[in-house]
Structure 1
């Protein structure tokens, strides 16, 4: 009789990992995009959401390309110093690839992109660590929007709930969060269950580079563009040597 495959176990040691080939592909993609697109932006993400970034990639795919990956890999693609850079002054973009940032390669004009970024935002649910933008208080009484099966879960999140005649009910006033205070994981889950988004997904254009105009800074910082990043290169190479199995 053939052996059942329903409970077949797969060793995690056999799964693929993002190694040198994956890193090299990102680097080559960036170099290709530098040659293809006339304008490049370094953007910073507020309240990152993968699904919204995926939507933007789909919306802009006709004449643009978003690349969002490990900063040090993107830095290598652009060139971290004057001697490495693919085009003049691209190392200035590379220096600003810090934090939660990405690259936008586009055929759209600089003015068009900056205006779009200024006005674009999407409402999202806040995560733990986010500061509440308002105070939310639930008065004692029934919560008819929740099925009776949700009551144990609501109680586990700290809400003073019980079932009364099959209806989820709060038996005392409950403050979910207070304006200006950092949300806990439980508070963030409750706000999502209540359908109360508090965060905004936004992109801020830190700086840009155009083939016709070169580098331009759009958000002030304390980076010295005249100083080469040789020390940073040495530190990064040492990091790679010591952590070659981590990626």
Structure 2
């Protein structure tokens, strides 16, 4: 009887005992998921938020999501034909390495159909508050006048963030027009904080499917939507007649 590919040992060097146990557990989890699930999707995440990832894990509790520890996950899959734990899966392991250099990515192990996963990913997006370093999609300006949405005690904080404010009859007031951000600006921490205080989410938390692996068809690249950012994955071809 041929030896199972899952039984292959993975060498982890320069790792302390505690870290070694964690990494070995991740590797074993990955190997088990390869056996238990029919499909593995390579996913890129735009505007990552831990709370959103937790919500996704709850929504997909019949599946497994792996984010982070990508080097260990790739080791668990096997990065060469000689070390792979399933036929052709080393191509997925190498795709993880390539795309992790462009942004955060992860794996979705699932038994749901390819069509269901693709349709879900195309529809799923949620607005989030932008962080510093985010490139703004629009210009946001505030006119001179009162800002009644803020309590008077917040006036020093707003002024410290760069807003030209003063207290007038107990109401925070802009003493002149203020531009929070210009379109295509790279947000500073102060701008990001102002936008959050103004309750103006500009970032979109979204998942992009970069590829799919099945034991029958191996690893296939998927086409990233045209409206995806350049750094979240190159456009790739997909066989739309593949019903894996």
Alignment correspondent of 1:22: 22
**Unpaired segments of 5 or more residues in structure 1?**
1-16, 224-247
Alignment correspondent of 2:58: 58
How many Å apart are 1:187 and its aligned residue?
0.5
**Structure 2 residue corresponding to 1:216, chosen from 216, 220, 237:** 220
How many Å apart are 1:18 and its aligned residue?
6.2
Alignment correspondent of 1:73: 72
Aligned length: 207
Contact 2:66 2:108 in 1 (8 A): yes
1:157 is aligned to 2:161: yes
Moved runs in structure 1, 4+ residues, more than 3 A? 219-223
Alignment correspondent of 2:191: 187
**Structure 2 residue corresponding to 1:124, chosen from 121, 128, 131:** 128
Spell out, residue by residue over 1:9-41, the C-alpha distance to the aligned partner (whole angstroms, 9 max, x if none).
xxxxxxxx9611111111111001001001001
Q: State the Cα RMSD in Å.
A: 1.9
Alignment correspondent of 1:227: none
**Unpaired segments of 5 or more residues in structure 2?**
1-16, 224-232, 237-244
Alignment correspondent of 2:39: 39
How many Å apart are 1:176 and its aligned residue?
0.3
**Structure 2 residue corresponding to 1:107, chosen from 103, 111, 121:** 111
**Structure 2 residue corresponding to 1:202, chosen from 203, 206, 209:** 206
Relative to the length of structure 1, the TM-score reads 0.80
| Rg larger in structure | 1
Structure 1 CA distance for aligned equivalents of residues 72 and 235 of structure 2: 22
Structure 1 CA distance for aligned equivalents of residues 21 and 163 of structure 2: 49
How many Å apart are 1:87 and its aligned residue?
0.5
Contact 2:87 2:215 in 1 (8 A): no
Structure 2 CA distance for aligned equivalents of residues 222 and 143 of structure 1: 44
Relative to the length of structure 2, the TM-score reads 0.81
Three-state SS of the structure 2 residue aligned to 1:116 is helix
